[in-house]
Structure formats: structure tokens, C-alpha cells
Amino acid sequence: MTSPARSRNGRREKKKPKLPPSDDDLWLDELHTRCGKAAARGLKGTVNIERPIKSLTLAELKNLASAIEGEWVKSVAERLQSEKPPFTDEEKEAYALLLGV
């Protein structure tokens, strides 16, 4: 068995320098936070948030998934609107689907 610092061929692997987070990484972190908050809002008032997830009913899980999905679609649509307009037919179709046009 090789040590973590060595590759399969026995050579030492160089550590890659840690790069600052890209705009995509920052946006993804924000998206995760927004979806987590949407999940909490979706469960708030109907479910004790301290309950284990495996104890949720199917209806409660559907509400949770719907809240997360709604926030994801909204966030992606906002990002698409703030970026360049789509150029390919495939991008135009995806853009239209996300924005509901």
C-alpha cells in the first residue's frame, strides 16, 4: 500500500498550491446556503427541525425537495439573467426552461 504522499508509481506527488476561490465557487457556496435556508423554511412550522431526516413522512420530504428545487431554479435564473445572453440553441432552450418563457 502506498502512502498518501506518493503516487501509484512511487513518485512523490507535488502539492498543488491552494488557489483563491473562483467566482463559480463563491456562487456555489451562496447557492448551498440559500438552498439550506429554503429547506429550513419549508420545514418550519410543520416539522421539528431537530427530528432525524429518516423520520420524515413522504409528504414532508416532498415539501423539503420542492423548497430546495424552487430556490435552486430561482438562483440559477437570476445568475443567467446577470450573465451573457445564451448563444447556442441548447443554451437558449435551457434558459427558456429555467425562466419559464
Sequence spans of domains, the chain: 23-99
Is residue 75 within 8 A of residue 55, CB to CB? The reply is no
Residue with cell 507535488: 14
Q: So what's the pLDDT on residue 7? A: 61
Q: Does an H or E element contain 23, and which?
A: helix 23-43
Give the pLDDT of the chain (101 residues) as one tens digit per residue.
545 556 666 677 777 778 888 888 898 999 999 999 998 888 887 777 788 888 888 988 898 899 999 999 899 888 877 876 666 888 888 877 877 76
Per-residue pLDDT at 95? 74
- Distance between CA 26 and CA 72 in Å, rounded? 15
